[in-house]
Chains A and B, each alone.
Chain A
Amino acid sequence: MNTATTSTMLPTEWRDFFALTKPRVMTLVVFTAICGLLAAPGTIHPVLGFTAILAIAMGAGGSAVLNQWWEADLDAGMKRTANRPLPGGRMRRDDARDFGVFLSAVSVALMGVAIGWLAAALLLGAIIYYAVIYTIWLKPRTPQNIVIGGGAGAFPPMIGWIAVTGEVTAMPLLLFAIIFMWTPPHFWALALFVQSDYAKVGIPMMPVVAGERSTRRQILAYTVLLAPVTLAPWLIGGTSWVYGSVAAVLSVLFFALAVPVGTRARSEVDSMTPEKTLFKFSIYYLFVLFAALVADRMLAANGLIGPGVLG
């Protein structure tokens, strides 16, 4: 690590510790966790609801810190990540590791004490899944790393839901499945237009290992597979037509944007507009889908819509 002498003498800025938790990624984690919490049947005291979200955010932050601790050398080799606190030489590597372990441990303990040990066990599972199974084990070994990594991001809404209900049912598992299936087309679209960065540090991203053509086909395949999973909460009667109609429209739009990405080939001078459009849309897709889920459940809870497929 290229830690400058002056930097090692000075205490690390607290902002660098905060930056290590990937606050931007955490906004999506917090949003989906809140959606899971609000959409779940039943009620939770606002203090406990806040604590559950805080614990999930801290767990996500802790695993993000451990991820950057492990990948500090790789981050140094990529333009996008070279100025992070560790490769930038603004923090000792051991401090990052200790901070990540501490944050993760506190998040699990907080969830267990305040909410319940089922939610805490799932949070611990999510942290281990991301920091160990994904970051250390599978990310450097398989081009399917993103598919597996998607599982880590899929935990928050499920944990949010289970924090309220205290049990694992079909709906939280479907919320998990939605993000799991959404991640590959979302991330591979990004990987198509930043692939040179990943190739440089030897991470076996799909476009680098299997080639662009295969990646594009798989983006299309996962988009097709995502549609029934997204519609499933409506089809099993877990939501009403409000969510169902939004999910259907979003699925059609996602497919319409994925088709050009899945079927075209890169030209010599290519602005990669379809890939960039798909990537941006995929973020809006998730926000709107989960917002629709919450709106649906709120309307149902207030008796404004009935249950069932056409309710």
Chain B
Amino acid sequence: MKDRNTELYRTMYLIRMCEEKIRVHYPSDQLKTPVHLCIGLEAIVAGVIYSLKSDDQVFGTYRNHGIYLAKSGNTDRFFGEMFGKVTGEFQGKAGSMHLSAPENGFMGSSAVVGTTIPLSLGCSFVNQQKNNGRLTAVFFGDGATDEGVFWESLNFACLKKLPLMFICEDNGLAIHSNTSERQGYRSITDIVNQFDCHVIESESTDPEVIADLTEKGISKIYQKNGPVFFHFKYYRYLEHVGINEDFESGYRSREEFEHWHKIDPINLQRAKLIKNGLKESFIQEIENAAIDKIEKSIALASQAPFPPDTDLYQNVLV
């Protein structure tokens, strides 16, 4: 059996390095798609998705690269999509912001905040009706909880006791607006607790902790207790959209970053593997394999053709 900690590290490292390689290649202007990088977020994505079955279904936001890579692992299609080439998951029709992998259970993401939350209702409703044991998880940021559709969806999920996991990835920011500038209440988890919903919260950057909490939530769902709301804090290392740091722009401080960087999920997990007795060389093999895979995928995407003009008209309707 595969070691959970090793697998969590393998997934997180792949995600981190894909994002770092995007930062390297972005200035070449070959990736003409707005990227919302998930550096800092890896423990949540890796931990949650590790605890799901492969046929469980997830929905994401425009900050979706981690979900895609954790669910499908296909870096060829990932970079193909970033480069807008025929080798992309959707031959360049989706780009970064609308990436998904339906065949791997990543059912959709969206560039309009909050819009995939109600999709998770319909998806989990079908699973409930068919009693097929599949779970649905929907990832969204704290900004989405400002939207009416979040509350409409939470209400409906609780009403129908849907087998659904709400995953709130709270970085305290909606683009550049702090929670304190947006929310006239003290605690989202206190409010959600008033619904018929199980609430789990954490500020951990340890993917093992996230995976354990996810499993705890899943057991609640299997007891047919209805949905679970997970509130996970994290820190967004880079600007909202793009590849750069933005600590000098005034809305947040480098000190805050430095606090979170001390508990960086990749570094923490690597140290844990060493402490658990894994050899440095073994970890380096994992890392080299990831980088090798990514470099090959980038070369493939870079050389692949763009879709033909006729593709413009394909798949508007069936």
Answer yes or no: are A and B bound together in one complex. Answer: no
Residues of chain B having any CB pair with chain A under 8 Å: none
